[in-house]
Amino acid sequence: MSNTETKDVPYKPTSPNSKLDFASVWEYAPAPQDSDFAEVKEKYDLFIDGKFVKPSKGRYFKSTNPANEEVITEFAEATQKDVDKAVKAARKAFEGEWSRISAKERGKYIYRIARMIQERAREFAILESMDGGKPIRESRDVDIPLVAAYFFYYAGWADKLEYAFPGKQPEPLGVCGQIIPWNFPLLMLAWKIAPALATGNTVVLKPAETTSLTALKFAELVKDCGLPDGVVNIVTGAGQTGAEIVNHKDVDKIAFTGSTKVGKLIQSSLAGTDKKYTLELGGKGAMLIFEDAPIDQAVEGIINAIYFNQGHVCCAGSRLLVQEGIADKVIQKLKDRLATLIVGDPLDKNTDVGAINSKEQFETVNKYLELGVEEGADIYQCDCKVPDNGYFIRPTLFTNVSQSNRIVQEEIFGPVLTVQTFRTAEEGIEKTNNTPYGLANGVWTDKGSKIFKVGSKMRSGVIWANTYNKFDPTSPFGGYKESGVGREGGMHGLAAYIKN
């Protein structure tokens, strides 16, 4: 629709409460991203010691595109023998060539990786959206630029470690085993690999089984950039492969991001060993909206907090706590805004909410939707169109919920928001802190003093004020309670990769 046409369209609200009838006034023509140039092989082998090698048992598993349920490619399943080979390659590189390279040269390799990511950004974005279901607008504008930013940031630290740790001789740990989830595949890889290399370690990384494609594309990039063999090894497989890394005797550190359940398993496997570890687990972030908050800005923030990446975000703002006097207004504005979200093809540049990452996660989220209704909550979903195939869930909000409901306490990891009210700041803080998690929260108010007062009582690693889901490589990230142990990002993220 051209600009002149837009001006002529009469504004006609459909219901007395609705400010904007978006769906019938505007319709977007499809704007698909051309994906033909993003090369996908039929099959990917393991990346060990600078080479692509076949898995020892010759087994492969399929990866699908969750938006249309089509098989995209196959990944190799790494066994204990393959993991051992990868760890040996990482050890050899750690003790050999990588340790002899000066810190300045090490930094240059990381800069080169960052620049090559930028050069191939569009290809990475397309593959990330195809394999994982996230909208191209997000993979293109958020994931991949952040991936480059994390590599640039840590490249800069490589030859300045003595400034990060004054009075110390920072020494690398050795071989780091890194296990990452499926919600931000390449970004989590960057969070793990960039600080590990900057501090002089070598790595064996396992991507998640539903989203390994960009990690293998990254392996191709590592080869192209001339990084010494064995410094970065990528092994694919499911939970068993991850467990082989965790339990390998010659791994010095485990960095894990994923579910709290698996995090606990890893923690108990590591108890009594001298391996270092960082665990970045689940969350149930709250957003506290006070009566004096800029409401339209808050509504935009809430949309971004919970529907970004289909809600597959460990720090998602999945609980809205709104002060009683403005609750009706905020909920109405949220519903109006929900009606404008476009759910569908991740590769369409107009899409706001893409596909749920896998069939399993689709079933999990649907179970929570049923559970919410069983628990007596009122469910609201926009009546937007969703494709017939693929795993799509309409952005959802639950009102009339109570603090003890499972949909309020448990991580759903989908586009589902629960809405509660509060009267006083004390009540809001109490409700915010009353879950097993402590990863991220948000506060919305016009008063800086209130931000500090409330923020200092929120028990979470991250607190956003009048915004949400903002990331920067200089800023540490991590949780309290069942949200994990340790910090990633910033200078804190370096400390996790050097000897005490």
Q: Which does 288 bind (CB under 5 to 8 A by kind): Mg ion, ligand NAI, none?
A: none
Strand locations in 423-500 (E): 437-438, 440-444, 462-465, 480-481, 484-485
Measured from the CB of residue 70, what is the shortest distance to Mg ion in angstroms? 10
Q: Which does 63 bind (CB under 5 to 8 A by kind): Mg ion, ligand NAI, none?
A: Mg ion
CA distance 180 to 178: 7
Measured from the CB of residue 312, what is the shortest distance to ligand NAI in angstroms? 7
Among 63, 399, 420, 441, binds Mg ion (CB under 5 A): 63
**Contacts of residue 279, Cβ cutoff 8 Å, sequence gap at least 6:** 256, 257, 263, 266, 267, 484, 485, 486
Q: Among this protein's residues, is 280 annotated catalytic?
A: yes
Instruction: Examine residue 436 and tell whether it contacts ligand NAI (CB under 6 A).
Output: no
Instruction: Examine residue 151 and tell whether it contacts ligand NAI (CB under 6 A).
Output: no
At 106, which helix (H) or strand (E)? helix 103-119
Exposure string of 40-52, with b = 16+ CB inside 10 Å and e = fewer, is: beeebbbbbbbeb
Rg value, the chain, Cα: 23
Footprint of ligand NAI on 237-276 (CB under 6 A):
238-239, 242-243, 246, 257-259, 262, 265-266
Q: Which does 461 bind (CB under 5 to 8 A by kind): Mg ion, ligand NAI, none?
A: none
Measured from the CB of residue 437, what is the shortest distance to ligand NAI in angstroms? 9
Q: Which does 242 bind (CB under 5 to 8 A by kind): Mg ion, ligand NAI, none?
A: ligand NAI
Q: Which does 239 bind (CB under 5 to 8 A by kind): ligand NAI, Mg ion, none?
A: ligand NAI
What are the φ and ψ backbone dihedral angles of 415, each rounded to 5 degrees?
-80, 60
Instruction: Examine residue 131 and tell whether it contacts Mg ion (CB under 5 A).
Output: yes
Among 66, 195, 282, 301, binds ligand NAI (CB under 6 A): 282
What are the φ and ψ backbone dihedral angles of 93, each rounded to 5 degrees?
-65, -40
Catalytic residue among 74, 77, 138, 280: 280
Kindly determine how many residues on this chain lie close enough to bind ligand NAI according to the rule CB under 6 A: 25
Give every strand in the sheet of 60-65, ordered side by side.
Answer: 43-44, 70-76, 60-65
Q: Among this protein's residues, is 382 annotated catalytic?
A: no
Measured from the CB of residue 462, what is the shortest distance to ligand NAI in angstroms? 13
**Contacts of residue 15, Cβ cutoff 8 Å, sequence gap at least 6:** none
Residue with smaller CB distance to Mg ion, 49 or 131: 131
Catalytic residue among 176, 314, 315, 384: 314
What are the φ and ψ backbone dihedral angles of 287, each rounded to 5 degrees?
-120, 120
CA distance 205 to 247: 14
Q: Residue 220 CA to chain centroid, in angstroms?
A: 23
Footprint of Mg ion on 201-220 (CB under 5 A):
210
Which DSSP category does 32 fall into?
B
Residue with smaller CB distance to ligand NAI, 63 or 445: 63
Q: Which does 131 bind (CB under 5 to 8 A by kind): Mg ion, ligand NAI, none?
A: Mg ion
The DSSP string of 308-327 is GGGG--TT-EEEEEEEGGGH
Exposure string of 187-199, with b = 16+ CB inside 10 Å and e = fewer, is: bbbbbbbbbbbbb
| Piece of 42-50, 101-109, 125-133, 432-440 that binds Mg ion (CB under 5 A) | 125-133
Among 67, 116, 179, 393, binds ligand NAI (CB under 6 A): 179
Residue with smaller CB distance to ligand NAI, 49 or 209: 209
Residues with a catalytic annotation lie at 280, 314
| Residues near ligand NAI, by CB under 6 A | 179-181, 183, 206, 208-209, 238-239, 242-243, 246, 257-259, 262, 265-266, 281-282, 314, 361, 364, 411, 413
